[in-house]
Chains A and B, each alone.
Chain A
Amino acid sequence: MTINHHPDISTLMAFTAGTLEEPFATVIATHLAMSEAGRITVRHMETIGGALLEDEPDAAMSAAATDRLLAALDGASEEPALPAMAENADIPTPLRPYLPQGLEGVKWKWNGPGVATADLARGRDGRSRLMLLRVAGGRRVPEHSHGGQELTLILQGAYRDRFGVFARGDIADHDEDVEHQPIAEPGPDCICLVAVDAKLSFRGRLMQALQPLFGI
């Protein structure tokens, strides 16, 4: 698969370090399952982690640490290799826990003409969320976050904005102050996996103003 739009380097570094909230980590992992170039970059970034680990000073270990480890080995079996998944599987492996019945089993919520969403998960921080967004061909993709970070991965179909055409496997990782107005390309529905870092989505300005009062 040819990927034309990649995550920001700093986003991949946070993913490599393990500091992204679950919704963001899931979007990146799903993207990487579709992007060999991305996986190579992450492997390079993991090498930075290895170099930093080797450069760490030695912390004092408890006297019995080695004995404790060796004693624990008795009950530890070899971990079987997980069954390998095809790179281009319809639902990439990291996304499967959220979509046990695939895209057909998604319970969509109407969110305006030609637009539907489905909530998949929330981060432990209570602010970030993972969701699916479905936009009919030719429709505008609504603005789906307000002020926070946002990652959008195309799973099906395509959309176009001033940065170009985004198709399956492409990811939009813009700074929060970037303005753009994506429009779904004519043809099949455009389905995106989205992580947003804000309490709000798909609500009008009045709701945005009221939101802090009611904690919606």
Chain B
Amino acid sequence: MYSIVMADSSSGRGAPHQMDDATTLLARVAQARDRMALAALFGQLGPKVKSMMLKLGANDSLAEDLVQETFLSVWRKAHLYSPERGAVSTWIFTIARNLRIDQVRRQSNRPYEDLETVMLESDVPSGAVVVEQKEVIQRVTAALKSLSPEQQEVVRLNYLHDMPHAEIAETIGIPLGTVKSRLRLAYERLRPMLEDLQ
């Protein structure tokens, strides 16, 4: 029944067998503490989170542990998520990032979590979501693929391979300043899609 509720009439998607989308599943986790919804979300995004953790340099067993921890956090924090603040995948990306920083780097403080308290309080969305989050993600994904191969490479190394910029420079054999300018140019290309958010 959820697939009918969630059917997207504008694009022809939403066939009867389509899985519930992540936003619906997470809402069920938050509101009804629905374990099967969490399991379904885990089925959709868990293997992708694991793929990302493997790229970050974790071995299979650590990657699996980090995925478990990520979705345990999803369970514990589901009530703190609101769709106006970003797509579910974006939120899960930040949870996975914070866990990686906590567990792999073992930093002594938690600047990201501290910052989240500021964001929760002061950046209440206006309520006017211009474009659906799902659509934003699709547009950004398409735009990422339209970047030059050089720009895509630095963006992926930055986001998916846990590489500081100096290490990116060394890995692909370009000056540090070139890494930074490629990232700036990539962001300029993506910015119009991203600014539709608000």
Q: Name A's B-contacting residues (CB within 8 A).
A: 8-10, 13-14, 16-22, 25-26, 28-30, 32-33, 36, 39-40, 43-62, 65-66, 68-70, 72-73, 76-79, 81-87, 92-94, 96-98, 121, 124, 175
Question: For B26, what are the chain A residues with a Cβ–Cβ distance below 8 Å?
Answer: none
Known: A49-B159, A98-B109, A124-B107. A83 touches B101 (CB 8 A): no
Known: A49-B97, A59-B47. A82 touches B117 (CB 8 A): yes
> Chain B contact residues: over half helix, strand or loop, or mixed?
helix
Q: How far is the CA of A192 from the CA of B136 in the complex (A)?
A: 38
Q: Of all chain A residues, which has the CB nearest B36?
A: A70
Instruction: Say yes or no: is B98 at the interface (Cβ < 8 Å to chain A).
Output: yes
Instruction: Say yes or no: is B90 at the interface (Cβ < 8 Å to chain A).
Output: yes
Q: Is the CB of B108 within 8 A of A84?
A: no
Q: Please report which residues of chain B, range 108-137, place their CB below 8 angstroms from some CB of chain A when the two chains form the complex.
A: 108-109, 111-123, 136-137
| Complex partner residue of B94 from A33, A39, A49, A61, CB under 8 angstroms | A49
Distance (Å) between the CB of A37 and the closest chain B CB? 11
Q: How far is the CA of A209 from the CA of B93 in the complex (A)?
A: 44
* Interface size of B in residues (CB-CB distance below 8 Å): 86
Known: A60-B47, A65-B68. A70 touches B97 (CB 8 A): no
Q: Is the CB of A69 within 8 A of B114?
A: no
Question: For A87, what are the chain B residues with a Cβ–Cβ distance below 8 Å?
Answer: 118, 121-122
> Chain A contact residues: over half helix, strand or loop, or mixed?
helix
Q: How far is the CA of A211 from the CA of B98 in the complex (A)?
A: 35
Known: A52-B144, A56-B48, A59-B47. A76 touches B165 (CB 8 A): no
Question: For A50, what are the chain B residues with a Cβ–Cβ distance below 8 Å?
Answer: 86-87, 89-93, 137, 140
Q: Is the CB of A51 within 8 A of B180?
A: no
Q: Is the CB of B47 within 8 A of A54?
A: no
Q: Is the CB of A78 within 8 A of B68?
A: no
Q: How far is the CA of A62 from the CA of B42 in the complex (A)?
A: 13
Question: For B194, what are the chain A residues with a Cβ–Cβ distance below 8 Å?
Answer: 44, 47-48
Q: Is the CB of A73 within 8 A of B86?
A: no
Distance (Å) between the CB of B156 and the closest chain A CB? 7
